[in-house]
Amino acid sequence: MSIFKSDILQGKVAIITGGGSGINLGIAKALVDHGASVALISRTQSKLDAAAEQLSPDGSQAKGFAADVRDVDALKGAIEKSVEAFGGLDILVNGAAGNFLAPAAALSPNGFKSVMDIDTLGTFNASRLCFEHLQKRGGGVILNVSATQAFMPTPMQVHPGAAKAAVDKITEDLALEWGPFNIRVVGIAPGGVEGTEGMKRLMPPGMDEKMRAALPLGRFTTTEEIGQVALFLVSPAAGYITGTTLVVDGASAMPLSGVFWTAMRQWGG
């Protein structure tokens, strides 16, 4: 289901880091279904090839270029190949992220650094390297994928929480500095998304049903729903939205929402 015309992004080119799976693949699908061409960048070429094939069987609208966002030279190479393959760049989605559950007292400094490097530095690196390409087209959009951990203290998530809070700050500052170049910089902060690597990694075993029951809407979101919101944010319909991160979490990150909701349900039978 889409409220947008299927050609709203016709002729637009997007780079999507972390685009081989999960939320970012959902965003890629929404963009391709509305006319855009997408270059997917992440570490594993075979995974990217499979995702590109799924999005665009004839390869005309999707291609994969392997690079780790922590490796600036490799990332620069993949961005240049993407721009060459599709003839320019209009949209960058910074989706590459790393995560695992770890109590702060047991988290190694290198574990913390790895997630900061992927999420925060990766977002800056790709944005910085894409700036000149967006500028050449007279402007564009950068969409940063954040997470509710950025503003909601979350147990065993100090590393992604700190990394995504910094990503949200990058969204604000780049919007300010790059607005005059007609580049909008926006963010999306999903709550739990069904069927993703993040959900697999972050859901304590056997807790799915209990967690869903504690959510205000009684369910997590989907890659399709996040894809539709991302599509809106990168589309001309959101032309005056910049420097802000849209929370798409079904009110799950409102302070103590889960605790109150569980209590109300028990009280109401």
How would you label 159-172 residue by residue, b for 16+ Cβ within 10 Å and e otherwise? Answer: bbbbbbbbbbebbe
Q: Which residue has the tokens 């995504």?
A: 164
Contact flag: residue 2 with ligand COA (CB under 6 A): no
* Cβ-contact 166, 144 below 8 angstroms: no
Cα of 214 vs its chain's centroid, Å: 25
- The span from the CA of 74 to the CA of 67, in Å, is 5
User: Measured from the CB atom, is 55 or 96 closer to ligand COA?
Assistant: 96
Say which residues have a Cβ less than 8 Å from residue 28's Cβ, sequence separation at least 6: 14, 16, 19, 38, 40, 51, 55, 62, 93
Least distance in Å: CB of 115 to ligand COA?
6
Interface with ligand COA in residues 118-177 (CB under 6 A): 118
CB-CB contact of 97 with 193 (8 Å): no
| Binding region for ligand COA (CB under 6 A) out of 24-32, 99-107, 217-225, 230-238 | 99-107
Pattern 102-121, ligand COA, x by CB under 6 A: x----xx-xx--xx--x---
CB of 9: closest distance to ligand COA in angstroms? 25
Query: Which candidate, 229, 222, 254, 225, places its Cα nearest to that of 244?
Result: 229
| Sites for ligand COA among residues 17-76 (CB under 6 A) | none
Nearest to 30 by CA among 105, 91, 83: 91
**What number of chain residues touch ligand COA (CB under 6 A)?**
15
Q: Nearer Cβ to ligand COA, position 115 or 167? A: 115
Local structure of 68: helix, strand or coil = coil
Supply φ then ψ for residue 171, to 5 degrees: -55, -45
Among all residues, whose Cβ is closest to ligand COA?
A: 98
Instruction: In angstroms, give the least distance from the CB of 233 to ligand COA.
Output: 19
Using the rule CB under 6 A, give the single segment among 149-157, 164-172, 181-189, 193-201 that binds ligand COA.
193-201
Q: For residues 79-98, which are near ligand COA according to CB under 6 A? A: 97-98
Tell whether residue 198 is a contact of ligand COA (CB under 6 A): yes
Nearer residue to ligand COA within complex by CB, 201 or 219: 201
- 100 touching ligand COA, by CB under 6 A: yes
**One of 128, 136, 169, 201 touching ligand COA (CB under 6 A):** 201
Determine which residue in the list 197, 203, 216, 257 makes contact with ligand COA, applying CB under 6 A: 197
Distance CA 165, CA 58 (A): 39
User: Which residues of the shown chain bind ligand COA in the complex (CB under 6 A)?
Assistant: 97-100, 102, 107-108, 110-111, 114-115, 118, 197-198, 201
